[in-house]
A and B are shown apart, each in its own frame.
Chain A
Amino acid sequence: MVKPYILSLIFCVSGILCAGAATPDTLADLNGMLGGIKNIQISKEKPIPAGFTIAPDGWVSSDTSLLTNKVYVFEVVAQTPEDETFNVAFKYDNRTSVPKVTVIADKIEMATGLRKDGMIWVVVTVSMVVFAVLIGYLVLLDRKVRKIEKAA
C-alpha cells in the first residue's frame, strides 16, 4: 500500500498556507507530514534563524514577535522510523499581511533496499574480479621483467 505521505512528498511540494492566522505560532507538523520522525538534524549551511524552534517530535513553531518583515529560509534533515531520509526546506515569508509558509520535503534516495536484497554482493564480486585481473597482470609483468633482469 502506498503511504499517503509518500504520495504527497516524493519530489513534490506540499505547501501549507496558514491562511487567516495573522500571527501563527505553529507553522508545520513534520511528524504528520512524514509519517513519524525518529531524528531531526539541522543543516549547517542553512541553520534555523532566531525566532524559530523545532521540537524533536517535528513541530515547527515561531515567535512572531521576533520576526521582521522579510523572508526566512532554513533546512533540516529528518529521518523517519523506516530509516527514510528527507531534506525538508522551510520558507517563511513575512512580507505580506498574512505570513506565508512553504514546506518542501525531498526524499533522499539511498540504496538501502538494494543492500537488503543482498544483490550488491554481485557488484562487490565483479569489482573484486576486475581488481584481481589487474593485480594478476601486474604480477605477470613483474615476473617477466625479473626474468629479463636475470638474463641480462
Chain B
Amino acid sequence: MKMIIRHGYKVLAVLIMLYVIPMAWTGEVSVQVILHETIRNLYWHVVMWFAMILMFGVSVYYSVSQLVEPSEKKDIYALEFAHVGMMFGLAGIVTGMIWAQFTWGAPWTNDTKLNGSAASLLIYAAYFILRNSIQDKVKQERTAAVYNIFAFVMLLILVGIMPRLKETLHPGNGGNPGFGDYDDLKGSMAIVFRPAVLAWILIGVWIANIRIRIKTLQLKKEQW
C-alpha cells in the first residue's frame, strides 16, 4: 500500500503521457485560420501554464500554513514547489515565444498577458533572491512565506485578471473566444488536453518531491 502511494502517481503520469504524446501529434484537431497545425501547441504550451499555477498554488498553501504554524518542513515544501513552478513558467514563456513567432509574427508583442507573465516570473525570481539574502533562519522562513503570498496574488492579477480587462491576443481573454470555442470537433481536443494537464502536474509533483528530499538531506547535513 505504501508502495502504491509512493510510486502510483508517477506511474499514472507516465501512462497518461504515453496516451497524450501520440494523440497530441495525430489526434483530430480543429482547422483554424492562422493557427493551422500549430493548434497542437495547446497540448504543450498551455499545459505548462496550468501546471505552473498549480505548483505556485501548492507553494503558497505551505507558505500560509507556515505562517499559521511555523515548521521547517513547510518552508522547504513552499520553496521547492515554487522552484518547479518557475521551471514550468520558463518553459511556458519559451514555447509561447516560438508559437507567437509563427502565428502573431513576432516572439514578443506588447500583449498584456505576455508582459504580465514575464512580470510575475520576475516577482517569483525575487522570492528566491529574498530568501537567500536573509541569514537568520526564522526571519528567512517568515519573510519568504509572506512574500510568497504577495507573489501568488500578483500572479493571479497579472496573468488571470489583467488580460481579461485589457486588449490581448490570447484566446479566452479580452473578449476573444476561448480555446473551448475552437474545439468544434465536440471535445476531441479536450480529451487530450485535460489528461495532459494532469500528467504534467503529476510530473511536477514528482520533481518537487525529489527536490524536497535533497533539500531535507542537505539541511540534515548542515545541522550535524
Which residues on A are within 8 Å of B, measured CB to CB? 41, 44-45, 77, 85, 87, 106, 108-111, 115, 120-121, 123-124, 127-128, 131, 135, 138-139, 141-142, 145, 148-149, 152
Identify whether the interface residues of B are mostly helix, strand, loop, or mixed.
helix
Interface size class of B (residues with CB under 8 A): 20 to 34
In the assembled complex, which residues on chain A have CB atoms less than 8 Å from the CB atom of B31? 77, 85, 108, 110
Q: Are A145 and B181 in contact (CB under 8 A)?
A: no
Q: Is B214 close to A, CB under 8 A? A: yes
CA distance in complex: A149, B18 (Å)? 31
Q: Are A108 and B32 in contact (CB under 8 A)?
A: yes
Q: Is B213 close to A, CB under 8 A? A: yes
* 8 Å CB contact of B21 from A77, A109, A127, A142: A127
Q: Are B33 and A127 in contact (CB under 8 A)?
A: no
Contact residues of B between 51 and 105, Cβ < 8 Å to A: none
* 8 Å CB contact of A145 from B14, B32, B214, B220: B214
Q: Are A124 and B21 in contact (CB under 8 A)?
A: yes
Q: Which residue of chain B is the closest to A106 with respect to CB atoms?
A: B33
Some 14 contacts from A to B, beta carbons below 8 A apart, are: A44-B181, A45-B177, A77-B31, A108-B31, A115-B26, A120-B26, A121-B26, A123-B25, A124-B25, A127-B25, A141-B210, A142-B209, A145-B217, A152-B220
Known: A110-B31, A138-B207. A124 touches B213 (CB 8 A): no
Known: A123-B25, A141-B210, A145-B213. 15 other contacts (CB 8 A): A108-B31, A108-B36, A109-B36, A120-B25, A124-B21, A127-B21, A127-B25, A128-B18, A131-B21, A135-B14, A138-B203, A138-B210, A142-B10, A145-B214, A145-B217
Which residues on B are within 8 Å of A, measured CB to CB? 10, 14, 17-18, 21-22, 25-26, 31-33, 36-37, 177, 181, 184, 203, 206-207, 209-210, 213-214, 217, 220
Q: Which residue of chain A is the closest to B36 with respect to CB atoms?
A: A109
Identify whether the interface residues of A are mostly helix, strand, loop, or mixed.
helix
Q: Are A138 and B25 in contact (CB under 8 A)?
A: no
Q: Which residue of chain B is the closest to A151 with respect to CB atoms?
A: B217
Q: Which residue of chain A is the closest to B209 with respect to CB atoms?
A: A142
A46 CB to closest chain B CB, in angstroms? 11
B39 CB to closest chain A CB, in angstroms? 9
* 8 Å CB contact of A124 from B26, B177, B207, B220: B26
Known: A77-B31, A87-B33. A128 touches B210 (CB 8 A): no
Q: Are B36 and A110 in contact (CB under 8 A)?
A: yes
Q: Which residue of chain B is the closest to A41 with respect to CB atoms?
A: B184
CA distance in complex: A109, B38 (Å)? 11
Q: Are B213 and A149 in contact (CB under 8 A)?
A: yes
CA distance in complex: A151, B160 (Å)? 45
In the assembled complex, which residues on chain A have CB atoms less than 8 Å from the CB atom of B203? 138
* 8 Å CB contact of A138 from B26, B206, B213: B206
